[in-house]
């Protein structure tokens, strides 16, 4: 299987969502291979199908002052935050090419980050039996949320590389009140170049999913 990777830099949330929706239709028509979009967003709160207004802990005026928008979306899960320094990955994949097993697909996504954190950064991470995502102790470093439309996946993961962790205080992340958030920067004590982290993610994707990776050269910067 081939995975096409597009590095998009920082783009608006709605722009990223519109691109995903277009790529889902192209993937369904077999016009493209499985595709991974790697990008950052300006500050944004996203609310999945299980989210409630009570998940947002601060007045909307505070979000407005920070330039943060709020979007209700179709992925599973509750409320999460995206912002600069966080690597967001949107995976447009045909689930029929992955034995139609969504649970295994999500477990493989988690394995990507467990493996790269151990191999590239000497960080021991794992799963939590109660909550999806990848955890370092009781702190989440990668959130995962997938939607499936007639066999094609969209949305994906949010990997805290150099994320401003205080912004998670705006919300109840994924409905979890008794756990924290961490980032590569917090664990290593210094920022990590985003390109370096993207390279690590791409390499781990090829190993875990068995992809042959092709990078698109016409991705917007």
Active site residue 174: yes
Q: Mean pLDDT throughout 56-65?
A: 92
- pLDDT attached to residue 197: 97
- pLDDT attached to residue 25: 97
Q: What share of the chain is helix, strand, coil (3-state, %, to 5)?
A: 35, 30, 35
How many residues does the structure list for the chain?
221
Token look-up 């702190």 returns 139
**Residue 146, pLDDT above cutoff 80:** yes
The kind and range of the H/E element at 34 are: strand 34-40
Please give the CATH topology (third level) of the domain spanning 2-215: BirA Bifunctional Protein; domain 2 (3.30.930)
Residue spans of the domains in the chain: they are 2-215
Helix (H, G, I), strand (E, B) or coil at 93: coil
Question: CB atoms < 10 A from the CB of 27, how many?
Answer: 21
Q: Mean pLDDT throughout 21-31?
A: 96
In sequence order, the 6+-apart residues with CB closer than 8 A to the CB of 209 are 1, 3, 98, 108, 112
Q: Catalytic one among 8, 19, 161, 174?
A: 174
**Residue 4, pLDDT above cutoff 50:** yes
Distance CA 168, CA 25 (A): 33
Residue 117, token pair as written in the block: 């954190």
Provide, rounded to the nearest whole percent, the portion of the chain with pLDDT above 70: 97
């Amino acid at each position: 299987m081939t995975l096409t990777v597009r590095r998009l830099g920082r783009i608006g949330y709605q722009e990223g969502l519109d691109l995903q929706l277009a790529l889902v239709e192209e993937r369904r028509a077999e016009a493209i291979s499985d595709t991974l979009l790697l990008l950052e967003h300006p500050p944004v709160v996203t609310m999945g199908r299980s989210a409630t207004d009570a998940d947002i802990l601060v007045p909307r005026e505070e979000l407005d002052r920070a330039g943060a928008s709020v979007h209700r979306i179709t992925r599973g899960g509750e409320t999460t935050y995206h912002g600069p320094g966080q690597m967001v990955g949107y995976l447009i994949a045909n689930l029929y090419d992955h034995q139609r097993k969504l649970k295994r697909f999500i477990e493989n996504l988690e394995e990507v980050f467990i493996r790269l954190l151990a191999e590239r950064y000497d960080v021991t991470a794992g799963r939590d039996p109660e909550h999806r995502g990848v955890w370092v102790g009781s702190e989440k470093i990668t959130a995962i949320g997938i939607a499936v439309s007639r066999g094609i996946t969209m949305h994906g993961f949010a990997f805290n590389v150099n994320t401003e962790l205080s912004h998670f205080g705006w919300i109840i992340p994924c409905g979890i009140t008794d756990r924290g958030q961490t980032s590569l920067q917090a664990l290593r004590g210094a920022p990590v170049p985003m390109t370096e982290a993207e390279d690590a993610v791409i390499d781990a994707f090829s190993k875990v999913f068995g992809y042959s990776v092709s990078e698109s050269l016409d991705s917007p910067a």
